[in-house]
Amino acid sequence: MASTALSSSAPHAPQRSPAEFSGRSRRRRPAWLIGGAVLVVMCALGSAFWWSHTSGRVAALAVATNVPAGQVITDRDLQTVQVAADSSVSLVRASERNTVVGQTAAVPLTAGSLLSAAMLGAPAPPATGQAVVAVSVDPGRFPPALTAGSTVTVVAAKSGDTVAGSATPGAAPAAPERSGQRWPGVVLAVDPAVDGRGGAVVTLRMAAADAPDVAAAGPVALVQRHPGEN
């Protein structure tokens, strides 16, 4: 019986030539290049955005809490903010914080305002024709939101008169000849009364001619008004 030589019929995986691999690599390379270029552009844009928002700006001191004139400034009264270097305000740099703490406010400092060197030092004396007077105001006889800088009318209060509240039990009646009199003024400071009943000691700047009458008026009420009103 004749034997027949068997030949292998199993298929062989096609062998790819180096040229084929090179062609596939060239097809993938543009995608990597495009991705890298996009990343570079994004980084450049981010750097430009950061630079535009930080260049030309300096760290300066601002007021964090309301500080009455004559009060010593503490560290909690200050905060650091970034402001334009070409600001027209005479700025106090944040690096000077330690030298500012312990100084006295020359004028009432309002929270959120930038600090300047002119705001520091001994309070300036009243201008010619002006005087500073402190009045004790019972609870209910002044707006609760009254702050330094407010324009007010001081009213000699009758017994039982109130402003935004009920009468204070035991309050002494105003002198009959002064009851109802009115004097304009500007608030320099508002401090809680030491008796803890909710009243306040309000420091006012007003005409020098009116200050003695206000000091002698007895119980008063404060009416806050628009600065432009007479």
Model confidence band, residue 226 (pLDDT cutoffs 50, 70, 90): confident
- Decide if pLDDT at 84 tops 80: no
φ/ψ (deg, to 5) at 103:
-80, 170
Q: Determine the Cα angle at 40 with ends 35 and 46, to 5°.
A: 125
pLDDT band at 36 (very low <50, low <70, confident <90, very high): low
Tens digit of each residue's pLDDT (9 = 90 or more) over 96-112: 999 999 999 988 888 88
Q: Are 111 and 29 in contact (CB under 8 A)?
A: no
Percent of the chain with pLDDT strictly greater than 90: 33
Candidate from 43-47, 199-203, 220-224 with smallest mean pLDDT: 43-47
Q: How many CA atoms lie within 13 A of 136 on its CB side?
A: 12
